[in-house]
């Protein structure tokens, strides 16, 4: 392996195919395609998992330590010309081993006829989470709670540096699914329920990943409609009217494409009965022709084969290959067989797929490889030294986690804790770092403790943060079982406050499916027991989706929604509980009151009415944008410079607020609009702008907002965005104002 790596070091300065240096990536790609055989083209459209190239032990398991199989490398890379590899063989690797892996693969690619480098992809969704020692950041649902564009962009740049330091140029991130169904087990991978928030934060991450010398390719997941399955389970059908698809689910993808996103991963499921990875309408007409996407469209795991086995729209694998490629798929995440390539070639020879369609797909793949510099330097950052987990990245992780945590309730100002406060810490997530990180952390489900770094759990952090001896711990309560009342109360003797760290174990995808949002009885009973005992109850919710607990919520004195705050989550939670950090997060979703009834904040007016026809029907436990502080922010005024506007004008607004408390703090200003009347029933309100600001104690600040009137457009009866004349109301906190639009 070391010899292979050294040989590659000598080869990286060579330029492939003797093409002029000033040619564009597209022209280079087109020129190279003309030199390729059909078999070589089919290989470029094939993506296999690293398990297909790895050594196995006598039991049939991947060998430890991980190693590559030279015979498999030659078969797959040289003989078949496979163009892309993904994934990690079960667990996280060191930087050095990653470079050996990528170096070996690219060395074999060098010995193929056209010496085309391999494109390697990984799910580095909250840091370089498959590289040992890399800094891990909050997951997307927690990042959304920061409403901090600048900090997310900074994080994305650092993630790109860390991932590329392992030799990997392609990241399957960000997720731009709009989280409309809180049951969905990938809800935590989203930026929440609002398409504008998803667009803004997603575009920031795409730009951070793809800018400058550390550029790696972003991949927009999962195009499109994946996040609103009817039954809440992963990879199950979504039934979304085209109008809603265009207004809610497509805009984040369209905006990220305009921001330069290079790749898109396709939804594994189906939209209105049509598998997305076989939909010519979604993959060609909408994605390519309407949205102008020029990059690579890749399937998710084994989804072409799933056209037979799950969706039952194809009779054979060969037929499924033709369906998906003709629909618009460029690269197939096969990833566990060698038949896809064979069937792709047969379909072309039999006229079921035009070779021009193959040329189109391969040109996109090769263009991406040129743009990433893989022909010049097949192992990105091979010659550079990059330090993981620096003081700067650790500080950024802590800052993001601190901004992400949402203080939902603080009855009687029980938080922050007093200097001499004595507390008991218990609950299933009190001393469990895996729950703070969630899935896609060192392993797929994120549950293997063998790869955990030495970072603080909530318990550890509180013990460090508070006066020695003032924090005690009760072990034994799980997600579904609890200790006896006597044991619970005995442990709380002598303390004034109980910190209950509740929520969920880590999960993603199908293993995370549940049938009920309600928080398990055993956990809610902890609230009841300690509340009845007269203790102050502080609940810290470590969870990937909003688990309902309306019956016991009134028994809680304070509630923190921690979400999945990452490796620095324990420290951030402790800093907020102790008062070192002033909480500033805002909910990026509507927290439901009941497990079987859920409406998003942008509901329709008919959803406001209850069974007595009063406007109490929309009654979540906590509304979108909820989030308290240890100081007080007053909104003093809102002014709009011009009230009568045309279709091409801009709305110019100023919002004045003040910090009337005694503590410095951050506030996120949320600007909503409401359409008085429209040809399509309007939402009660829609978020149109947001800005995070810092105010010192006693400070007053006027914040400007500018937005185009076209941003008030909606998808009308013809399934196209249109701006209708009329009155629009704007609201910020309790402030309201209006404008008239005359297109």
* Residue 4 pLDDT: 40
Other beta carbons within 10 angstroms of residue 57's beta carbon come to: 9
Cβ pair 226, 177 in contact under 8 A: yes
* Residue 18 pLDDT: 36
Distance CA(355)–CA(689), nearest Å, equals 46
Place of tokens 């996103």: 261
Distance CA(291)–CA(233), nearest Å, equals 29
Do 601 and 693 lie in one domain? The reply is no
10-residue block means of pLDDT along the chain (743 residues)? Answer: 38 34 85 98 98 94 94 97 95 93 96 97 97 97 98 97 94 98 98 98 98 91 98 98 98 98 98 98 98 98 97 98 98 98 98 98 98 90 75 98 98 97 98 97 94 94 96 98 98 98 98 98 98 98 98 98 98 98 98 96 96 94 98 98 95 98 98 97 98 98 97 96 97 97 88
Cβ pair 502, 427 in contact under 8 A: yes
Q: Which DSSP symbol is given to 238?
A: B
- Alpha-carbon dihedral 380, 386, 387, 389, rounded to 10 degrees: -40
Give the domain-ending residue among 567, 592, 608. Answer: 608
Do 604 and 673 lie in one domain? The reply is no
Q: What residues are labeled active site?
A: 300
Residue 344 within a domain: no
Distance CA(499)–CA(518), nearest Å, equals 20
Strands, E, within 411-504: which ranges?
423-426, 471-474, 497-503
The CATH number given to whatever domain includes residue 729 is: 2.60.40.10
Q: H/E element holding 94?
A: none
Residue 63 within a domain: no
Write the CA distances from 159 to 2, 131, 246, 582, integer angstroms: 27, 11, 31, 26
Give the domain-ending residue among 573, 608, 643. Answer: 608
Q: What share of the chain is helix, strand, coil (3-state, %, to 5)?
A: 35, 20, 45
Distance CA(688)–CA(194), nearest Å, equals 10
Residue 304 within a domain: no
Do 413 and 455 lie in one domain? The reply is yes
Do 587 and 640 lie in one domain? The reply is no
Cβ pair 151, 393 in contact under 8 A: no
Residue 732 within a domain: yes
Cβ pair 100, 366 in contact under 8 A: no
Distance CA(30)–CA(33), nearest Å, equals 5
Cβ pair 379, 168 in contact under 8 A: no
Distance CA(572)–CA(36), nearest Å, equals 54
Distance CA(502)–CA(201), nearest Å, equals 28
| Axis crossing angle, helix 391-404 with helix 569-578, rounded to the nearest 10 | 60
Beta bridge partners of 297: 264
Number of residues that this document lists for the chain: 743
Structure tokens at 558: 């304070």
Residue 681 within a domain: yes
Do 524 and 648 lie in one domain? The reply is no
Distance CA(38)–CA(108), nearest Å, equals 20
* Residue 384 pLDDT: 61
The CATH number given to whatever domain includes residue 432 is: 3.40.50.1700
Do 638 and 599 lie in one domain? The reply is no
Do 562 and 420 lie in one domain? The reply is yes
* Residue 1 pLDDT: 41
Give the domain-ending residue among 555, 575, 608. Answer: 608
* Residue 379 pLDDT: 83
- Alpha-carbon dihedral 454, 458, 461, 467, rounded to 10 degrees: -150
Residue 523 within a domain: yes
| Domain containing residue 701 | 633-741
Which pTM does this prediction carry? 0.95
403-459 pLDDT per residue, tens = 999 999 999 999 999 999 999 999 999 999 999 999 999 999 999 998 888 999 999
Residue 222 within a domain: no
Do 581 and 724 lie in one domain? The reply is no
Tell me: cis bond preceding 416? Omega within 30 of 0 counts: yes
Residue 534 within a domain: yes
Do 424 and 526 lie in one domain? The reply is yes
Q: Which residues contact 669 (CB under 8 A, 6 or more apart)?
A: 655, 657, 689, 690, 691, 692, 693, 703, 732
* Residue 21 pLDDT: 42
Do 582 and 723 lie in one domain? The reply is no
Total of domains in the chain: 2
Do 505 and 552 lie in one domain? The reply is yes
Distance CA(195)–CA(149), nearest Å, equals 15
Cβ pair 145, 562 in contact under 8 A: no
Q: H/E element holding 146?
A: helix 140-146
Structure tokens at 679: 């040809």
Q: Which is nearest to 209 in space by CA: 263, 254, 251, 248?
A: 263
Do 554 and 637 lie in one domain? The reply is no
């Amino acid at each position: 392996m070391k010899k292979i790596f050294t040989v590659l070091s000598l080869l990286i300065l060579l330029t492939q195919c003797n093409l002029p240096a000033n040619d564009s990536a597209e022209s280079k790609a087109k020129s190279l395609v003309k030199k390729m055989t059909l078999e070589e083209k089919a290989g470029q459209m094939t993506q296999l998992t690293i398990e297909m190239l790895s050594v196995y032990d006598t039991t049939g398991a991947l060998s430890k330590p991980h190693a590559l199989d030279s015979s498999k490398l030659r078969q797959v890379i040289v003989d078949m010309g496979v163009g892309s590899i993904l994934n990690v063989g079960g667990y996280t690797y060191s930087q050095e081993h990653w470079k050996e892996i990528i170096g070996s693969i690219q060395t074999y690619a060098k010995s193929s006829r056209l010496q085309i480098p391999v494109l390697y992809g990984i799910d580095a969704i909250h840091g370089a989470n498959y590289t040992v020692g890399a800094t891990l950041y909050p997951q997307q649902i927690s990042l959304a709670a920061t409403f901090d564009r600048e900090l997310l962009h900074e994080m994305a740049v650092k993630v790109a540096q860390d991932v590329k330091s392992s030799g990997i140029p392609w990241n399957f991130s960000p997720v731009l699914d709009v989280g409309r169904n809180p049951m969905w087990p990938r809800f935590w991978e989203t930026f929440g329920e609002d398409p504008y928030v998803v667009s803004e934060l997603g575009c920031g991450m795409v730009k951070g990943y793809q800018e400058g010398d550390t550029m790696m390719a972003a991949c927009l997941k999962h195009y499109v409609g994946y996040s609103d399955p009817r039954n809440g389970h992963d990879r199950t059908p979504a039934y979304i009217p085209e109008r809603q698809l265009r207004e809610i689910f497509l805009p984040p993808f369209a905006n990220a494409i305009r921001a330069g996103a290079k790749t898109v991963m396709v939804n594994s499921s189906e939209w209105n009965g049509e598998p997305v990875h076989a939909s010519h309408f979604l993959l060609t007409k909408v994605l390519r022709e309407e949205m102008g996407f020029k990059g690579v469209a890749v399937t998710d795991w084994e989804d072409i084969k799933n056209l037979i086995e799950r969706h039952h729209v194809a009779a054979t694998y060969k037929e499924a290959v033709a369906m998906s490629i003709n629909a618009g798929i460029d690269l197939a995440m096969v990833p566990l067989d060698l038949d896809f390539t064979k069937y792709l070639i047969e379909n072309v020879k039999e006229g079921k797929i035009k070779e021009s369609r193959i040329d189109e797909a391969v040109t996109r793949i090769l263009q991406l490889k040129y743009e990433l510099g893989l022909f010049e330097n097949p192992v990105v950052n091979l010659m550079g030294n990059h330090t993981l987990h620096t003081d700067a990245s650790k500080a950024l992780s802590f800052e993001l986690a601190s901004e992400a945590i949402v203080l939902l309730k603080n009855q009687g100002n029980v938080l922050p804790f007093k200097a001499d406060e004595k507390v008991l810490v218990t609950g299933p997530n009190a001393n469990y770092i895996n729950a703070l990180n969630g899935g896609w952390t060192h392993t797929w489900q994120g549950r293997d403790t063998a790869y955990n770094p030495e970072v603080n759990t909530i318990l550890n952090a509180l013990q460090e943060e508070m006066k020695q001896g003032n924090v005690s711990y009760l072990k034994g309560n799980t997600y579904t079982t609890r200790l006896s009342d006597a044991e619970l109360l005995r442990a709380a003797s002598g303390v004034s406050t109980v910190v209950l760290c509740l929520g969920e174990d880590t999960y993603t995808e199908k293993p995370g499916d549940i049938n009920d949002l309600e928080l398990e009885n055993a956990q809610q009973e902890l609230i009841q027991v300690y509340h009845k005992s007269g203790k102050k109850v502080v609940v810290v919710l470590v969870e990937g989706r909003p688990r309902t607990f309306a019956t016991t919520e009134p028994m809680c004195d304070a509630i923190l929604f921690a979400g999945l705050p990452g490796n620095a989550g324990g420290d951030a939670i402790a800093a907020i509980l102790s008062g070192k950090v002033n909480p500033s997060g805002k909910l990026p979703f509507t927290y439901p009151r009941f497990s079987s009834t859920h409406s998003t904040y942008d509901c329709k007016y008919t959803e406001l009415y209850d069974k007595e026809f009063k406007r109490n029907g929309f009654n979540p436990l906590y509304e979108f944008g909820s989030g308290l502080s240890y100081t007080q922010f007053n909104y003093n005024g809102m002014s709009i410079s011009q009230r009568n506007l045309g279709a091409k004008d801009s709305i110019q607004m100023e919002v004045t607020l003040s910090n009337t408390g005694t503590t410095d703090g951050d506030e996120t200003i949320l600007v909503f609009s409401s359409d008085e009347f429209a040809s399509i029933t309007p939402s009660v309100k829609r978020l149109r702008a947001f800005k995070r600001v810092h105010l010192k104690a006693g400070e007053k600040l006027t914040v400007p907002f500018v937005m185009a009137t076209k941003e008030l457009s909606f998808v009308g009866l013809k399934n196209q965005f249109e701006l209708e004349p009329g009155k629009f109301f704007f609201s910020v906190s309790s402030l309201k104002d209006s404008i008239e639009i005359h297109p």
